[in-house]
Amino acid sequence: MELLVGQKIKLKKQHPCGENKWEIQRTGMDFRLKCLGCGHSVMVPRKLVEKNFRGFAED
């Protein structure tokens, strides 16, 4: 799966703030994702991102 820094994606599970749209800030074995609702940044393993990926978010 080809995911690039700066892309906005939707994931299956929501962040506690209620938003399921994320911006990719770093790629590799782990992804750094920034919540587009509250701005919180989290590190998530690549396998988990690919499993929960639900499509690209519109800007």
pLDDT in tens, 4-33: 999 999 999 899 999 999 999 999 999 999
Q: Residue 44 — very low, low, confident or very high, per pLDDT cuts 50/70/90?
A: very high
Res. 58: pLDDT tops 90: no
> What is the reported pTM?
0.89
Long-range contacts of 27-36 (CB under 8 A, 24+ apart): 27/3, 31/3, 36/8
Structure tokens at 41: 């940044």
Tell whether the model's pLDDT for residue 55 goes beyond 70.
yes
DSSP, res 9: E
* pLDDT confidence of residue 59: 65
Residue 22, token pair as written in the block: 């994320």
In the predicted structure, residue 37 carries a pLDDT above the cut 90:
yes
Query: 10, 24 in Cβ contact below 8 A?
Result: no
Q: Kind and range of the H or E element at 50?
A: helix 46-52
Question: What is the CATH code of the structural domain delimited by 8-56?
Answer: 2.30.30
